[in-house]
Amino acid sequence: MSLKNTVEFLSPNFNGLKKDNVNTNKTNVNKNELSKIVFDSFSFFNQNTSYNDVAANKAYQRDYVYYGITNKDSKGILNQNVTDYIDYLEINPNLYFKLALNSGDKGNPSITNETVTQTKRQLSTEELIDRMWTKGAYEFKFEIFSENSSNSSSIIIPVKPSDIWNFNITHTRQNGTVFRSSKNTYKINPANFTSKVFRLNDMVAFNKWDISKESLHRFINVSEVNLSSSITEEVNYTVSKVAEGKFEGSVKLGVGSKTSAELGGSGSYKEETTQEKKFLRTFNVGDDVLATSIKVYFYNPIINNINNNGECDLFYYSTGAVKFSIIPKIQ
C-alpha cells in the first residue's frame, strides 16, 4: 500500500498553486475609518499637479483638514483639534535575519525549531508559534523631530513577529496505515515570510502642526531597540517654512506655502524659506536602525485615490525596510 503526502500552505497568500492568489493585507482604509474632514478633503483636492488646475492639487488636502481652506481664494484658522498619527506599520520580512542576530543578548524572538512534527492530530497556529519561536516581542521605536522642540520625542511599541509577518508555514500530512499513525510535519522558512499591515491604533501621534509658527517638515527615525549603553548626540536638519505673507495673524491665506503668484495671482511671488535646525536625540548604541531621516511634508497628500467601494488609497512613506502612512484625526 503506497503512502500519500498532502501538502498545504497555512497562508493563502503564499500558495503559488492557486491562480487566484490574493493578498488580503491592505494598506488602504475604508472611508468610514477616516475622520469625515479627512475624507472630505479629497473632494476639494484630488488632482495631480496640473498646469490647468493647480489649486485642486492633492498636496493641499491638509489645508482643508487643518484650516478649512477649500480653494486658492479662501481663508481659514487652525483647527486645534486635529492631530496627525502614523496609521500603520509594515516591516520588510528580510529584516528578520538582522533582528534575529540579537536574539541572545536582547531576547528578540527568533525561530528555534524550523521543523515540527505531530502524530494523529493537526496543530493550531498558536501551538506552532509556541513550538517554533522563542518568547518575546520586538520593540520598535519611532523617533520624531518637530521644530517646536529641540529634543526628539519617541515612543516604543512592542510587536510580535506574528503581528507583522505571515509565516507561510508548509504542512505535509503523511496518511496513517493499520500499523502507523498519521504524521503532520510543519516547516517554517524566513525566506518565505510575507509582510502584514500592523495597525497602530493611534499609538504614534505627532505634536500639533501649526505651520504659521513651525516648519513644514518633520523627520522620523525607526529602529528596533536593543539593551545597550545610551548616548546623546546633536543632529541637524534643513527645515522649510511658509513664505512671508501666507498668514495675516492666525489666518492662513489660500492654499499652499507660497504667495498667490504660484496660483496666477497678481501679488508678489515668495518661496518657502529654509533654515538649519539643531536637535538632540538619545539612543542606544546597539539599536538596529531601520530607517533614518524620513522627511514628512505638510504638503504631501493624505489620500491618493478613492475607489467606487469607498476604499481610500493612502499616501505612504517607504524606505524598503519600513512602510507607513500618516493621517490626521479629530481628537
C-alpha distances out from residue 59 to 44, 76, 163, 284, 323, Å: 11, 17, 32, 36, 20
Mean pLDDT across 233-242: 94
Q: Helix (H, G, I), strand (E, B), or coil: what is residue 297?
A: strand
Sign of the Cα pseudo-torsion (239, 244, 245, 248, in order) = positive
Using the 8-state DSSP alphabet, how is residue 191 labeled? G
What span, in angstroms and rounded, lies between the C-alpha atoms of 159 and 108? Answer: 11
User: What pLDDT, on a 0 to 100 scale, did the predictor assign at position 279?
Assistant: 94
DSSP code at position 286: T
pLDDT in tens, 59-102: 999 999 999 999 888 899 999 999 999 999 999 999 999 998 87
- For residue 117, what is its C-alpha cell? 512534527
180, pLDDT greater than 90: no
Predicted local distance difference test score (pLDDT) of residue 56: 81
pLDDT tens per residue, range 313-324: 999 999 999 999
- What is the number of other CB atoms lying within 10 angstroms of the CB of residue 43? 11
Residue 18 has pLDDT above 70, yes or no: no
Q: For residue 23, what pLDDT band results from cuts at 50, 70 and 90?
A: very low
Furthest CA-CA distance within the chain: 92
Q: Are 275 and 315 in contact (CB under 8 A)?
A: no
Query: pTM, whole model, 2 decimals?
Result: 0.84
* Per-residue pLDDT at 142: 96
